[in-house]
């Protein structure tokens, strides 16, 4: 049977987590996914790792050899196919070998956000487990946080509508904020006909 490789770049770098989630997975090697960058996207205060194309950049990764049962477990964990979709990418291993591996990429309509402390610690431990450069992880956190806050500053009414209590109307909440955000522009929604579109117009073609 042909070997199935999975490239982890987030919490599944964590060896103890992978051993629990995918008991038949074997660590094949570590390396980088070239021309991609690491990002944190999803819920504003509970974002998760994902990758996006970026020429000249690279994302540290661990390649696991997985079995069908492991992949089914990963599908459930990653929320495939609604939250993450699958894509095959080349991974350059530290020994010079290049392998084609499956990665999970978050739906590109998701906005930048901040990871929870627990999730970030899990990913950081994974970097330590696989002897990867944690500076890349710190840079991704800083870049994603900057873009998240910049988005909120451009769209204050969106931030309020996202966070106001469920038993309070948006209009009531805005009045309590003394008109905060009354003159701001509404956030432009992405094209709903394209399930994997991004704000900058980049699109993924296929899986």
152-172 pLDDT, tens digit each: 777 654 444 444 334 433 343
Burial of 166 (0-12, 13-18, 19+ CB in 10 A): exposed
Contact 84/107 with Cβ under 8 angstroms? Answer: yes
Share of the chain above pLDDT 90, in %: 71
Estimate to the nearest angstrom the gap between the alpha carbon of 31 and the chain centroid: 18
CA atoms within 13 A on the CB side of 28: 23
Residues sharing a CB contact under 8 Å with residue 134, sequence separation 6 or more, in sequence order: 124, 127, 128
CATH class for the domain made up of 4-176 = alpha beta
> Which is higher by pLDDT, 163 or 204?
163
Query: What is the C-alpha separation between 61 and 105, in angstroms, rounded?
Result: 13
Which pTM value belongs to this model? 0.75
């Amino acid at each position: 049977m042909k070997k199935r490789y999975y490239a982890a770049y987030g919490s599944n770098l964590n060896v103890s987590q992978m051993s629990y989630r995918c008991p038949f997975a074997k660590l094949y090697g570590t390396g980088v996914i070239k021309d991609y960058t690491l990002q944190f996207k999803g819920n504003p205060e509970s974002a998760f790792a994902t990758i996006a194309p970026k020429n000249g950049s690279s994302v540290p990764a661990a390649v696991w050899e997985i079995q069908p049962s492991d992949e089914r477990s990963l599908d459930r964990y990653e929320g495939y196919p609604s939250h993450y979709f699958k894509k095959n990418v080349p991974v350059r291993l530290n020994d010079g070998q290049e392998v084609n591996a499956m990665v999970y990429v978050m739906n590109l309509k998701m906005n930048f956000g901040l990871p929870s402390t627990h999730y970030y610690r899990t990913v950081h431990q994974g970097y330590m487990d696989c002897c990867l450069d944690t500076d890349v992880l710190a840079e991704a956190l800083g870049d994603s946080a900057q873009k998240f806050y910049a988005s909120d500053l451009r769209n204050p009414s969106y931030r309020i509508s996202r966070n106001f209590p469920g038993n309070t109307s948006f209009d009531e909440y805005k009045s309590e904020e003394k008109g905060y955000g009354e003159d701001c522009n509404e956030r432009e929604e992405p094209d709903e006909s394209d399930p994997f579109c991004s704000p900058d117009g980049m699109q993924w073609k296929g899986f």
